[in-house]
Amino acid sequence: MPEITIKIGQRPYTVNCPAGEEPQLEKARAALDAEASTLLAQMGRVPEAQMLLMSGLMLADRTLALEEKLKTAEAALELAQQDIQKVSPEIKTVTTEVEVAVVPPALLESLAELSARAEAAADELEEKIAQSAG
């Protein structure tokens, strides 16, 4: 396991990092350093332990907020999936073949409405999936 020197809050630290995990370590270092730099800019010189503790707490707070957003998005996604399940039988009912010389306007309106509802549900689902992935 290689040793890597990283800088957080303008201070160097040597850490062990499994081979291949260097990019993830760099992302974590950058996030912690951003919090430490913000803290140092606001408070000036801070003892090392306090800087790391406060930076870690700020990251933990941000993580908790993101986890809450994720739970909300997952719940909304579940509701959207349930809505899709409700719409699906209606679509199956409408898609049975009807042999009519002229398509009644009411049927065209129903098909247009179902199509719009299906597209709206699909758009909402795609948006929620994108939000929960991001």
Whether residue 94 has pLDDT greater than 80: no
Distance between CA atoms of 36 and 16, rounded to whole angstroms?
Answer: 21
DSSP classification of residue 47 = -
Q: Are 125 and 76 spatial neighbours (Cβ–Cβ below 8 Å)?
A: no
Range of weakest confidence among 59-73, 74-88, 97-111: 97-111
C-alpha angle 92-97-100 in degrees, rounded to nearest 5: 135
pLDDT in tens, 14-58: 999 999 999 999 999 999 999 999 988 988 888 989 989 999 999
Stretch (H or E) spanning 5: strand 3-8
Q: What is the mean pLDDT of the chain?
A: 87
> Which has more confidence, 134 or 109?
109
Q: Quick one: residue 67, left, alpha or beta (phi over 0 = left, psi -120 to 50 = alpha)?
A: alpha
